[in-house]
Amino acid sequence: MSDSRLGEAAHFSFARHETFAPRFGWLHKAYTQVKDDPSAFLADDAPVLFGVGKNMVNAMRYWSRAFKLTREHYPTSGARSKHSFPTWEARWLLDDDGADPYLEENGSLWLLHWWLVSSRPGAKCWAPTWYTSFHLAPFSRFTVADMTQVVTRHVNFSYKEGPVEASIVRDIDCLTKMYARSAPEKAGSPGSYEDLLACPFRDLDLLTFVGTRGKPEWQFTSGHRTTLPARVLAYACLDYAAKFSRQANSISVARLANEPGSPGRAFRVGENEIVMALQKVAADHPQLNLTEAVGQRSLAFAADPFALAWEVLDEQYDFVTRCPSFPTREEWAAKFPRLAEAEQKELTANTANIADTAEPLFEETA
């Protein structure tokens, strides 16, 4: 039986990180450069501008796109190379007067993780291996071979063409490096501190090494997330609900916890933790309400859930959007008109055969 969920949720994009997991400081540095020059990643002196090697420049470009902090589009008709345009979300989070430009709060890392593995029309996931691992894999403990088999199966169902298996293996290796601390190290040791500096997402403790040197295995953790702010979890729930409706409506907590693509699967949290977060947030937001009927709990929202999601998230960061100089989405779109064109292209793309499948991510400069 065919299963096209991956193709509906994610672009065809494999092993474009150059084997590098996102490192501390990369996203802010990338935003700072492309805000002033959308062609910065293509510049001959890009390694100097970004302060990293050429392969790392490519990785920074990929991760900026994968975290939905940039969109890529040709700057003019007939141009050969795509430029990277910073999204309004990047402006909100990473600008010097943004919510958390240096990602000092764990809530920001949880937010970025959600942006990485979430998908909605016009903002699909750019990391299909990550999406499959968190949302579609039928197990919590796995080897590289286990996960490779699952990703390969979903790729074959979802796309007309598939990557070589080595690309999927590189993705899975990068995923484990991104979220799991190095196996031999103990918490608090110099090695574990270097791990955190190399990739801050390990601090989320979403993945743990459970194997041996001879048989490496990993396991997704679950349970209460002490570092996940209630408002960030509520934001993700409302953002997910907005995928299905932009009007006043409701969505069951069971769906929020268990559906592929949901916050429950992305954050590995259950219904009770989602309920606790939503109750806490709803107490200060009269347009949100938790209801129960026939034993089923639901989140009801009295307005557009996307707008409510941002209201809740902005509150977590002391209302960044209320600063006098902060641009509206419309003002930001006017500054970078190619953002809207990139979104429209994505909305009209064939979900079964993404237009970028055969298109290289890193073109030569014109």
Residue 4 has pLDDT above 90, yes or no: no
139 lies in the same domain as 191: yes
- Cβ distance 363 to 39 under 8 Å? no
- Looking at per-residue confidence, does 282 or 193 come out higher? 282
Eight-class DSSP state of 135: I
pLDDT of residue 1: 39
pLDDT of residue 351: 42
Confidence of residue 337 (pLDDT cuts 50, 70, 90): very high
Residue 19 has pLDDT above 70, yes or no: yes
Confidence of residue 197 (pLDDT cuts 50, 70, 90): low
- Cβ distance 333 to 88 under 8 Å? yes
pLDDT of residue 62: 98
Cα 207 to Cα 211: distance, rounded to the nearest angstrom? 12
Q: Which of 220, 253, 276 is the last residue of a domain?
A: 220
Question: Which residue, 52, 33, 134, is CA-closest to 90?
Answer: 33
Query: How many alpha carbons fall within 13 Å on the CB side of residue 202?
Result: 25
168 lies in the same domain as 249: no
Phi, psi at 362, each rounded to 5°: -110, 95
Confidence of residue 214 (pLDDT cuts 50, 70, 90): confident
* Structural domain contains residue 346: no
Q: Is 54 left (phi over 0), alpha (psi -120 to 50) or beta?
A: alpha
pLDDT of residue 355: 38
Residue 244 has pLDDT above 60, yes or no: yes
Eight-class DSSP state of 327: P
Residue with tokens 């801050």: 200
58 lies in the same domain as 201: yes
Range of the domain at 199: 4-220
242 lies in the same domain as 203: no
Cα 224 to Cα 5: distance, rounded to the nearest angstrom? 28
Query: How high does pLDDT run on average in the chain?
Result: 91
Mean pLDDT confidence for 231-241 = 98
Task: Find the CATH number of the domain harbouring 282.
Answer: 1.10.10
Residue 192 has pLDDT above 60, yes or no: no
Confidence of residue 182 (pLDDT cuts 50, 70, 90): low
Residue 185 has pLDDT above 90, yes or no: no
* Structural domain contains residue 329: no
* Structural domain contains residue 336: no
56 lies in the same domain as 95: yes
Per-residue pLDDT reduced to its tens digit, 252-295: 999 999 999 999 999 999 999 999 999 999 999 999 999 998 88
Number of domains in the chain: 2
Phi, psi at 73, each rounded to 5°: -160, 155
Residue 186 has pLDDT above 70, yes or no: no
User: Of the ranges 116-130, 184-198, 201-215, which one carries the lowest mean pLDDT score?
Assistant: 184-198
Residue 363 has pLDDT above 50, yes or no: no
91 lies in the same domain as 211: yes
268 lies in the same domain as 189: no
Q: Which of 187, 220, 253 is the last residue of a domain?
A: 220
Residue 116 has pLDDT above 60, yes or no: yes
> Order of strands, edge to edge, in the sheet holding 288-293?
249-252, 296-301, 288-293
Integer Rg of the chain from CA? 20
How many residues are given for the chain? 366
Judged on CB neighbours under 10 Å (0-12, 13-18, 19+), 324 is exposed
Query: How many alpha carbons fall within 13 Å on the CB side of residue 108?
Result: 18
pLDDT of residue 14: 97
Mean pLDDT confidence for 98-116 = 97
pLDDT of residue 359: 45
pLDDT of residue 242: 97
9 lies in the same domain as 124: yes
* Structural domain contains residue 175: yes
pLDDT of residue 124: 96
Token digits of residue 87: 């999204």
Residues 6+ apart with CB under 8 A from 25: 102
Mean pLDDT confidence for 193-221 = 86
Residue 189 has pLDDT above 90, yes or no: no
Residue 143 has pLDDT above 70, yes or no: yes
Mean pLDDT confidence for 152-164 = 92
102 lies in the same domain as 215: yes
Token digits of residue 180: 């799991």
The pairing of beta strand 288-293 with beta strand 296-301: antiparallel
* Structural domain contains residue 187: yes
* Structural domain contains residue 164: yes
166 lies in the same domain as 27: yes
Residue 190 has pLDDT above 90, yes or no: no
209 lies in the same domain as 68: yes
Q: Which of 220, 255, 288 is the last residue of a domain?
A: 220
**Percent of the chain beyond pLDDT 70?**
90
In the chain, the N- to C-terminal Cα span, in Å, equals 45
Question: Which residue, 277, 355, 290, 261, is CA-closest to 316?
Answer: 277
* Structural domain contains residue 364: no
* Structural domain contains residue 345: no
Confidence of residue 191 (pLDDT cuts 50, 70, 90): very low
Question: Which residue, 329, 120, 128, 318, is CA-closest to 238?
Answer: 120
Residues 6+ apart with CB under 8 A from 135: 9, 117, 260, 261, 262, 265, 266
Cα 298 to Cα 205: distance, rounded to the nearest angstrom? 28
Q: Is 261 left (phi over 0), alpha (psi -120 to 50) or beta?
A: left
216 lies in the same domain as 255: no
